[in-house]
Amino acid sequence: MTSYFLQRSDRLVYRKAAPGDISSWAAFFINNDRLHFMGIPLTGTPEELAAWWVNKQKEQYQDSGFGHLAATLPESGALIGMAGIIPRNLEGETLYEVGYSLLPVHWGNGYGTEMAQQMKAWAFQHLPVDQVISIIHKDDTASQHVARKNGLSPWKEAEFKGMEVVVYRVLREG
């Protein structure tokens, strides 16, 4: 099986998030008007929030074998975002979510769609699943647009982490 922790898409390389990513990832928590869609605690400095995020991925790697991966530019190794597959318990069922987050400076360049497409493709190629989902805040129209570009459609509304969300999903083809 191809390693989850070493992936590549057209323009990006994916690897485990590491403590060395914290200083770059702190920029995600500065001037980002979409943070309230994340469903994560937002108390602390950008550096503290970035450290919490990176440490959370390490825990997820150990607990489930999955988590957000650092998405980097192959030429420079620069971190531009995080993307991954996250096992979620939704209404008593374990489903695999395709998730991504992008540094605001890289919005609008198609990287979010590329990251989401890579994670969906990996899940269907390597996991015995019939569907993947994306859990998106009901007001996060940018992420809903990316989900549609990734072939997902609105499936149902739910409450997740105290937020009203729309669960997008796509079924395995064939």
Q: Domain 7-171 carries which CATH code? A: 3.40.630.30
Query: 117 with 136: CB under 8 angstroms?
Result: no
Query: 116 with 134: CB under 8 angstroms?
Result: yes
* pTM exceeds 0.75, yes or no: yes
Cα–Cα distance between 90 and 133 in angstroms, integer? 10
Tokens of 42: 């937002």
Query: 120 with 112: CB under 8 angstroms?
Result: no
Q: What digits encode the pLDDT tens for the residues 16-68?
A: 999 999 999 999 999 999 998 998 888 999 999 999 999 999 999 999 999 99
